[in-house]
Amino acid sequence: MMQGDQRSGSMFVFLGVLAVALFCLDIMLGSVAIPFKEVFRIITSGESDNRAWLFIIEKIRLPKAITAILAGCALSVSGLQMQTLFRNPLAGPSELGITAGAGLGVAAVMLAGGSSASMYAISQLGISGSWLIIGMASMGSAAVLSLILLIAGRIRDNVILLIVGVMIGTITLSIISIWQYFSQPEQLQEYIMWTFGSLGGVTGYHLYVLSAVVIAGLLLAFASSKSLNALLLGENYARSMGLTVGRTRLLIMFSTSLLTGSITAFCGPIGFVGIAIPHITRSLLGTSNHRVLIPATCLTGTVLLLLCDIIAQLPGSQTVIPINVVTSLLGAPVVIWIIIRRNNLRSAFS
Amino acid sequence: MINPAAILETRALAIGYRSSGHERTVAAQLDVRLQPGNLVCLLGSNGAGKSTLMRTLGGLQPALSGQIIIDGQPLGALKPAELARKLSLVLTDRIDAGNLTAREVVVLGRTPYTGWLGSLSENDHSKIAQSIEQAGISPLLDRHMHQLSDGERQKVMLARALAQDTPLILLDEPTAHLDLPNRVEMMRLLHTLARDTRKAILLSTHELDLALQTADEVWLMHADGTLLAGLPEDLVLNGSFETTFARNGFSFDRATGTFVIHRPVDTAQIYLEGAVGPVFWARRALEREGLGISRYRDAPCRISAADTPDGFEAEIFFENLAFKVSSVQELIRQIRPLFPLR
């Protein structure tokens, strides 16, 4: 135990330092490189001699870096919760169609509302608009999640559950496609841009709303850590240790839907973070204790998403590649590594 | 006789499955009591409903009718958190969480007592240490669950149940998948635990001979859905074991407390005499060969077996012949041609 504690402790310090370093780097790098001294001055005092740099940092890079942190924490913690809840190493928001569910919620807002409800119009709506889109996306996630949970009760096989998840994701995407087919070109372009994923679209009060929802979701997840630990031994054991499994499941679902829904609403579907980060964190810390894992997963998620964001900037160039592409390029190999390293998927979720 | 308060009692309990209005009763009219400090073995052939009974008593599946009373209160009236302090389970469920260390699993046993974040108090730590010692798993603590053998994993799960600190422990087939030394070890451990900690322990098992040796009481489940409770010796003597496990091709032998798989196909033509050990093992070998053992000394063949420093020695008398043999194998080789199979 002592060894484990020390290992976790030094890992926390390492990840924390790495996160801070990458945060600074993320703000420094981009189409224009800003020296560290200037970045430090702008963040601490909010002043700079260079007005352009001040604007870039305050209005673009700082919100984007904060969004990256929020997305990293939210997606990886919901992935962690889902892997424990479904007892499945390959569970994750995008793998089981939860992100697609959120996408359906977003599509409902963007495509159904006619031209008046484009993303632009929603940003004009201000706070109530961001609540609307978060609410719809979370509801979409929750709908898919409850459907999967219902099916998971009947299916014990991990691989089959995964196939069912992929199918439900496909159905959801098909519904969105029908919607797209009957939509205006401008709306379509907007929606398709959204599906590429972007951390840069969240500014001003949207950022406050998003932060509030994500923090609430994370606190809820942390509060469930004892129940999540009990669930590691399976539902029967959890019940025998006094856990009200139904209520716990609802709480975990609520938190997962909030986290996945809100991030997906604003940043688009970001793949592979949710499935890969929990595995990376577990092997870094060598523990399955959620009280340690949840904060650690947040840190690892932060590190990875900041890294992905830096790569997506293609520092020094004028172009930016979609964040979804970068996370998939980094995340998919991790998933393959998980499958290869552990031949028996059934015993690999923790 | 003073009858101490039972920790577990069932009254006219019926167990089984209920799905969309359709009921399938597995067993009914179950009236049993479990006293503190007793080790009770639940026996019955496959499909008799042992697991269903264990699951129902453990609160994992609802009873069809009747009552289960735990520590004076009906099972249904207990909140999950209250029940978790009265009853702990060791199930046959596979543990998928291979990355948990043995210690982490034992710590999970304290779940009913810890606060919302699961932080451990002084008392929790001492209970955990005590359970680890009782189950004898201190060398395993830092190993991961997937690195443990079946026997070791089972002991860790027992330690977890002990850490839950309940007066009643139910174990569903704790000796399944274990090799013989581990089975004996597990039963011995449970027997000592029941005696030393005054816990009531109920386990289902297929290990008849181990159950007969260690159980304070045996609950025999019949395939027809009835249950007989009693001292193992009484159940053997009144023939309950024989009826419960009656099958074609083998039978339960009241005299030795074991199953006789190979019924003598021949009439008893051999008389065995001599030292207890050699006679016992010679008899097993002869019966396996389908040769009946006679109770009468004037049987056509008489074997006189004796203990020697080398283990075994016997003399065979058949009609006017006499042979000496120095192993059971040799004995069989000599006897076999004398009684050709019909």
Greatest Cα pair distance, chain B, in angstroms, is 85
Token pair of A241 as six digits: 């240790």
Average pLDDT over every residue of A140-164? 80
| Shortest Cα–Cα distance, A42 to chain B (Å) | 39
Nearest CA in chain A to B99: A350
Whether pLDDT at A128 is above 70? no
- The Cβ-side half-sphere exposure at A145, using a 13 Å CA radius, reads 33
Buried b (16+ CB within 10 A) or exposed e, B72-82: eeebeebebee
Provide the pLDDT for residue B263.
Answer: 57
Task: Answer whether B111 sits within 8 Å of A232, measured CB to CB.
Answer: no
Nearest CB to B116; choose among A223, A240, A242: A223
Whether pLDDT at A1 is above 50? no
Whether pLDDT at A350 is above 60? no
pLDDT in tens, A165-224: 888 888 888 888 888 888 777 777 777 877 887 888 787 788 988 999 999 999 999 999
| Shortest Cα–Cα distance, A112 to chain B (Å) | 40
Identity at B109, one-letter amino acid code: G
Report the candidate in A169, A165, A194, A209 with the shortest Cα–Cα distance to residue A270: A194
Task: Answer whether A4 sits within 8 Å of B101, measured CB to CB.
Answer: yes
Q: Alpha helix (H) ranges present in chain B?
A: 50-57, 80-83, 102-108, 122-135, 150-163, 180-197, 208-214, 232-237, 240-244, 276-288, 328-335
Nearest CA in chain A to B118: A226
Report the candidate in A221, A222, A267 with the shortest Cα–Cα distance to residue A70: A267
Provide the pLDDT for residue A4.
Answer: 57
More confident residue, A43 or A65: A65
Structural Rg of chain A based on CA atoms: 20
- B268-338 is a CATH 3.30.160 domain: yes
Pick out chain B residues at pLDDT < 70.
Answer: 1-4, 97-98, 247-250, 261-267, 341-342
Task: Report how far apart, in Å, the C-alpha atoms of B106 and of each of A259, B91, B101, B125, B296 are.
Answer: 32, 15, 9, 11, 59
Where residue A259 falls among pLDDT bands split at 50, 70, 90?
very high
Provide the pLDDT for residue B172.
Answer: 93
Q: ipTM of the predicted structure?
A: 0.80
- The Cβ-side half-sphere exposure at A255, using a 13 Å CA radius, reads 29
Tokens 């719809």 belong to residue: A136
Provide the pLDDT for residue A8.
Answer: 82
Q: How far is CA A342 from the centre of its chain?
A: 25
Measured at the CA of B170, the angle between CA B167 and CA B174, to 5 degrees, comes to: 130
3-state secondary structure of B231: coil
| Shortest Cα–Cα distance, A172 to chain B (Å) | 31
Q: Tell me the angle at which helices A2-28 and A290-313 cross, rounded to the nearest 10 degrees.
A: 20
Greatest Cα pair distance, chain A, in angstroms, is 65
Are the C-beta atoms of residues A102 and A265 closer than 8 Å to each other? yes
Measured at the CA of A153, the angle between CA B77 and CA B205, to 5 degrees, comes to: 65
| Shortest Cα–Cα distance, B242 to chain A (Å) | 35
Running DSSP on this structure, what letter comes out for residue B247? B
What are the structural domains, with CATH classification, of chain A? Answer: 2-347 (1.10.3470.10)
Provide the pLDDT for residue A346.
Answer: 47
A-chain CB neighbours of B87 within 8 Å are 240
d(CA B183, CA B188): 9
3-state secondary structure of B99: coil
Parse chain B into domains and list their residue ranges. Answer: 8-248, 268-338
Running DSSP on this structure, what letter comes out for residue A117? G
- Residue B266 buriedness (CB in 10 A; 0-12 / 13-18 / 19+): middle
Secondary-structure class of domain B8-248 per CATH = alpha beta
Nearest CB to A350; choose among B85, B99, B112: B99
Nearest CB to B146; choose among A225, A226, A347: A347
Nearest CA in chain B to A158: B96
The answer, as to whether pTM is greater than 0.90, is no
Tokens 């929990």 belong to residue: A278
Buried b (16+ CB within 10 A) or exposed e, B165-204: bbbbbbbbbbbeebeeebbbbbbebbbebbeebebbbbbb
More confident residue, A121 or A151: A151
Provide the pLDDT for residue A117.
Answer: 47
